Amino acid sequence: MSEAVVTVPVARIEGFSSCEVDDVLAVEEPLEFRLDQITISLTMRTPGDDFELAAGFLFAEDLIAGSEDILSISRPADGSPNVVEVRRTPEARVNHSPAKRNFLMTSACGVCGKASLEELEQNACPALAPDNVRVASSMIRRLPERLRAEQAVFQTTGGLHAAALFDFNGELQAVREDVGRHNAVDKLVGAALLNRQTPLSRKILLVSGRASFELVQKALMASIPLMAAVGAPSSLAVATAEKAGMTLIGFLRDDRFNVYSGAGRITVSENHT
Amino acid sequence: MSEAVVTVPVARIEGFSSCEVDDVLAVEEPLEFRLDQITISLTMRTPGDDFELAAGFLFAEDLIAGSEDILSISRPADGSPNVVEVRRTPEARVNHSPAKRNFLMTSACGVCGKASLEELEQNACPALAPDNVRVASSMIRRLPERLRAEQAVFQTTGGLHAAALFDFNGELQAVREDVGRHNAVDKLVGAALLNRQTPLSRKILLVSGRASFELVQKALMASIPLMAAVGAPSSLAVATAEKAGMTLIGFLRDDRFNVYSGAGRITVSENHT
């Protein structure tokens, strides 16, 4: 994770004393996405897992349906570390065309590259297929502790968001961190996609911060039935989860949590599996 | 602030009990910006202060230089609560044209509507003019307490970011809250702009969360010489502040803080003014 953090000298002021100490910062750098040779977006991200980030972003934006739509992911010929180029198969270009939209996308901020309310409404989040998933509340309560154990960079910088996938037994599958919470989720889903593990209909998504509309939307694109946030959800996050049939949990900490939608998937018992 | 929060029923699960309680959520709704009758951007925001948000956003994007460039700010004819229309003077249209860019903007996520690295680099943040500002560390340490006292909605939802302006005596000038931290700053700067108080070269900006590149950039556009964050700064936030001559403070809490750049403006003493 070395490129994800940088050490800088700072003046630490406490009471009436000032001393120079080293501080570890989360790295934030721009990343430009090029799709089929066209620049489509720029996001501020923490370097690392850039190919996964690109794959997850394109998947969340419905510009690819899966790894089978990707011909190649690479750096440009000049080797720039802040550009990722994705080329799609001819079929993918036909089925998932950004040209269907009126403008270039610059998303990664919660609105899926849509510039108007009309476009936002036309692109409703997909509803989940019915399932009979049941998970124990006792397992849910233990998830943040498992994430913290893996969240190495946040511990040192306090500056990164984390997103993690768990299976229904509460086993940690993957963790990704980023200065942008949307990027952390894109990296996580992109990694699963490149490993041909999507759809994620048998997984739980845990995010270290708040649950916004955009994160719920990204989880729904990946068919994740259960999402939990350590922080608060927004009104639109709850409404979107409710409409799509997703279980949304908030304030998962201090051995308790709130269920905002889809409570039927949670069983309150001592059963650990 | 009634439209900023909504009460929903939730299942609160603690230990092996589940009970239904009411929870207060921060409202998140899309807002579409129209500039001179063209839709230019969509942001997810907490309703309230929408005209200030629009003004602050346009100012941060360099699409207006001040309130004198604004002919009108209004809702559309159909009264939609999630659309704001801004019309500029003919002079402003000439001097601050989005047509100078190659694409429509959909920003509010830290990259000022720029879709490529080249554009990001071409639009460097403005450097601050030299000043002889000196503020006491003892005053800085008291700012978060003053913000918390005013931050009513966050207290109930845990779901809002806050941004506040202080004068150099530590007196609170204004506070704005939003689900998006960039929106909180845009609302704050937009309010100052509409009140003809810009540039804010004699003000301190305090943000309740982390300091990202985009927030430093917005502060620099408003000529704010000193910015403090309760949370961690990112590497690019520090580099940008350093380059522009801005004082950037992070981890301002528990009666101490770190100075990442521009330490010359901070005096460590018991002097309260």
Among the listed residues A19, A109, A112, A125, the single catalytic one is: A109
Does position A26 have pLDDT exceeding 70, yes or no? yes
Looking at the fold, whether A237 and A261 belong to one and the same domain comes out as yes
Tell me whether residue B130 is in a domain.
no
B35 plus B144 within the same structural domain: no
Same domain, B96 and B118: yes
If asked whether residues B150 and B245 sit together in one domain, one would say yes
Looking at the fold, whether A139 and A223 belong to one and the same domain comes out as yes
What would the pLDDT profile of A50-78 be if each residue is shown by its tens digit?
999 999 999 998 899 999 999 999 999 99
Among partner residues A39, A105, A235, which is closest to B25 by beta-carbon distance? A235
Nearest Cβ partner for B256 among A12, A42, A214: A12
Write out chain A residues lying below 8 Å of B137, CB-based: 13, 16, 18
Cβ-nearest to B28 among A109, A213, A250: A213
Dump pLDDT digits (tens) for B204-227.
999 999 999 999 999 999 999 999
B10, B110, B140 ranked by CB distance to A44: nearest: B110
Number of A/B CB contacts below 8 angstroms equals 234
List chain A residues with CB under 8 Å of B252. none
A118 with A156, same domain: the answer is no
Closest CA–CA distance from residue A67 to any residue of chain B (Å): 24
Catalytic residue among B19, B109, B112, B125: B109
pLDDT at A269: 72
Is-contact A30 A183, C-beta < 8 A?
A: no
Q: Is the pLDDT of residue A107 over 50?
A: no
Give me chain A's average pLDDT, please: 88
Other Cβ atoms within 10 Å of A118 Cβ, number: 12
pLDDT tens by residue, A192-223: 999 999 999 999 999 999 999 999 999 999 99
Inter-chain residue contact A109 with B109, CB threshold 8 Å: yes
Which structure tokens are listed for A15? 């009471």
Q: Does the active-site annotation cover A109? A: yes
Query: Which chain B residues are within 8 Å of A142, Cβ to Cβ?
Result: none
Task: With respect to residue A142, please indicate whether it lies within any of the assigned structural domains.
Answer: yes
Mean pLDDT value of segment A27-46: 91
Contacts of B35 (CB under 8 A, 6+ apart): B58, B63, B86, B88, B98
For residues A63 and B3, give the distance between their C-alpha atoms in angstroms, rounded to a whole number: 35
Residue range B27-44: average pLDDT?
90
Q: Which of B79, B99, B122 is the last residue of a domain?
A: B122
Q: What percent of chain A has pLDDT over 70?
A: 87
Same domain flag for A252 and A151: yes
C-alpha B204/C-alpha B135 separation (Å) is 10
Distances (CA, A) of B190 to B58, B147, B165: 9, 19, 12
Domain that holds residue A51: 29-122
Nearest chain A residue to B7 by CA distance is: A235
Q: Are B197 and B230 in contact (CB under 8 A)?
A: no
B44 to A16: CB separation less than 8 angstroms, yes or no: no
Q: Which residues of A touch B21 (CB under 8 A)?
A: 258
CA distance A83 to chain B (A): 8
| CATH code of the domain covering residue A40 | 3.10.20.10
Q: How far A71 CA lies from chain B's nearest CA (Å)?
A: 22
End residue of a domain, out of A87, A122, A157: A122
One domain for residues A161 and A256: yes
Chain A contact set for B263 (CB, 8 A): 11
Domain count, chain B: 2
Return the residue of A nearest to B32 by Cα.
Answer: A116
Give B162 to chain A, closest Cα distance, Å: 15
Q: What is the reported pLDDT for A109?
A: 38
Residue A12 included in any domain = no
Which of A101-115, A174-188, A242-256, B60-74 bottoms out in mean pLDDT, i.e. has the lowest? Answer: A101-115
Among candidate residues B89, B122, B155, the one where a domain is terminated: B122
Mutation site, A117, A235, A249, A261, interface B, largest B CB count within 10 A: A235
